[in-house]
Amino acid sequence: MPPDTRNTPRPDRTAIELINLCKVFGSDAENPSYAVDHMNLKIRAGEFFTFLGPSGCGKTTTLRMIAGFEEPSSGNIVLDGREVSGSPPHLRNVNTVFQSYALFPHLTVADNVGFGLAVKRVPKAERRDRIQAALASVRMAHVADRKPSALSGGQQQRVALARALVNEPSVLLLDEPFGALDLKLRREMQVEIKEMQRKLGITFIFVTHDQEEALTMSDRIAVMSSGIIRQVDDPVGIYERPCDRFTANFIGDMNMLDAKITNIDDREATVSAGGLDLVLPRPLRLLGIGDTATIAIRPEALTLGAGGSETISFTGSCGTTVYTGTDRLIPITLATGETLTMRVRNRLGAAPVPLPGEMLTVSCPLAAIHLLTN
């Protein structure tokens, strides 16, 4: 097992590099169906990196190509400086943890964890030490003699992790490993796995469609759709600085207003949106006068009442509020017919809940308004 030391991603060393990686399904040469479309990406050593996206976006296919279970249609996979695109899985220093635990029911926990070592004919004494260390790393040493059927779902997932870690991989691949767990256990496992990764110093590559899971666990996230990476950033950047409409809409809740560019220069763009004219920082992608765009505002960025000089205010009619426990969602219909939803924290002494039909003014800091290309 790797030494139990605190770890941070090492930007000076690349664990995995994907170069123009493609996976095509089907045989139509003129109109190929790309599961992964010319992906270029570097993943740093010691990083917890997540592929995030909806079903069918190509994230699991990418993981399977890194593992060697899928052959790329074209492109290269470089692992620790070595080209491995044509290498079989057992010749790559990676291990994979799947959503289904795939534990052998007739073997004990210890024998499950050590199965790969036995196949490799690792000496018994070394095998025993590595099994004990792997089980200790996932806090499961006390169940070494039990069968998988005697364990809970969360315990079985830990055993599957130990079985992958015992081989001391340079990269651990996790394909939606918490999908079979209930919500509370999922959240507990998220914290445990992230802490384990920091201690072990192994590069983790995680696949999920769960936005909260990705934000909780990751050092960096690649948001994918239709085989393409839309944005790569840390969790704060993905949530607070989305680069396009897809990313903004996929990550968390987001208000979207149609916008039209009325003026633009090197630094700023004037847009018409929600019945107002707004001057906002120009987005990275080129826009021209008359082009359509999107205004994106997080519900928690809106507050009741008119704001100061660095804010913008919207007025509309209150709809039916939704109580979610910790928060209350208040929809506001603007004169354009579009709706903004405001998220208000429930707390003692809070202002009375607005009634349906009541006219409300809400404000938002200019810095919290995102101008996105469609």
Give percent of the chain with pLDDT exceeding 70. 95
Q: How far apart are CA 17 and CA 4, in angstroms?
A: 26
Task: Locate the DSSP E strands across 201-353.
Answer: 203-208, 220-225, 228-233, 255-264, 268-273, 276-281, 292-297, 303-304, 311-318, 322-323, 327-334, 339-345
Q: How far apart are CA 158 and CA 166, in angstroms?
A: 12
Asked which of 117-131, 220-234, 271-285 is least confident by mean pLDDT, the reply is 271-285
Quote the mean pLDDT of the chain.
89
Nearest to 130 by CA among 103, 102, 167, 169: 167
Beta bridge partners of 364: 312
Look at residue 29 in the predicted model and tell me its pLDDT. Answer: 66
Q: What is the mean pLDDT of residues 30-44?
A: 91
Q: How far apart are CA 175 and CA 95, in angstroms?
A: 11
Dihedrals φ, ψ of 85, to 5°?
-55, -35
Assess whether pLDDT exceeds 60 at residue 41: yes
Host H or E run for residue 13: strand 10-25
Amino acid present at 182: D
Assess whether pLDDT exceeds 60 at residue 3: no
How do beta strands 94-97 and 171-175 pair?
A: parallel
Q: What is the mean pLDDT of residues 168-197?
A: 84
Q: How far apart are CA 52 and CA 298, in angstroms?
A: 20
Q: Which residue has the higher pLDDT, 285 or 177?
A: 177
Asked which of 19-23, 186-190, 354-358 is least confident by mean pLDDT, the reply is 186-190
Delineate the domains of the chain, giving CATH numbers in brackets: 10-240 (3.40.50.300), 253-372 (2.40.50.140)
Assess whether pLDDT exceeds 60 at residue 152: yes
Rounded to whole angstroms, what are the CA distances from 63 to 39, 84, 171, 187, 363? 12, 14, 11, 23, 43
Look at residue 88 in the predicted model and tell me its pLDDT. Answer: 92
Look at residue 236 in the predicted model and tell me its pLDDT. Answer: 95
Concatenate the DSSP letters of all residues of 170-205 into one string. SEEEEESTTTTS-HHHHHHHHHHHHHHHHHH--EEE
Q: How far apart are CA 104 and CA 97, in angstroms?
A: 14
Q: Is residue 299 within 8 Å of residue 362, measured between CB atoms? A: no
Q: How far apart are CA 357 and CA 332, in angstroms?
A: 9
Q: How far apart are CA 101 and CA 220, in angstroms?
A: 26
Q: Is residue 198 within 8 Å of residue 167, measured between CB atoms? A: no
Q: How far apart are CA 295 and CA 30, in angstroms?
A: 37
Q: Which residue has the tokens 């799947």?
A: 98
Look at residue 6 in the predicted model and tell me its pLDDT. Answer: 41
Where does the pLDDT of residue 348 fall: very low under 50, low under 70, confident under 90, or very high at 90 and above?
A: confident
Q: Is residue 307 within 8 Å of residue 365, measured between CB atoms? A: yes
Is residue 229 helix, strand or coil?
Answer: strand
Beta bridge partners of 266: none
- Residues 288-338 pLDDT 10s: 888 899 999 999 999 998 878 889 999 999 999 999 999 999 999 999 999
- Residues 42-53 pLDDT 10s: 999 999 999 999
Look at residue 5 in the predicted model and tell me its pLDDT. Answer: 43
Host H or E run for residue 45: strand 33-45
Q: Which residue has the higher pLDDT, 275 or 12?
A: 275
- Residues 64-116 pLDDT 10s: 999 999 999 999 999 999 999 989 998 898 988 887 777 899 999 999 999 98
Q: How far apart are CA 249 and CA 247, in angstroms?
A: 5
Mind spelling out the 3-state secondary structure of 90-135?
Answer: HHCCEEEECCCCCCCCCCCHHHHHCHHHHHCCCCHHHHHHHHHHHH
Assess whether pLDDT exceeds 70 at residue 343: yes
Is residue 246 helix, strand or coil?
Answer: helix
Where does the pLDDT of residue 9 fall: very low under 50, low under 70, confident under 90, or very high at 90 and above?
A: low
Give percent of the chain with pLDDT exceeding 90. 54
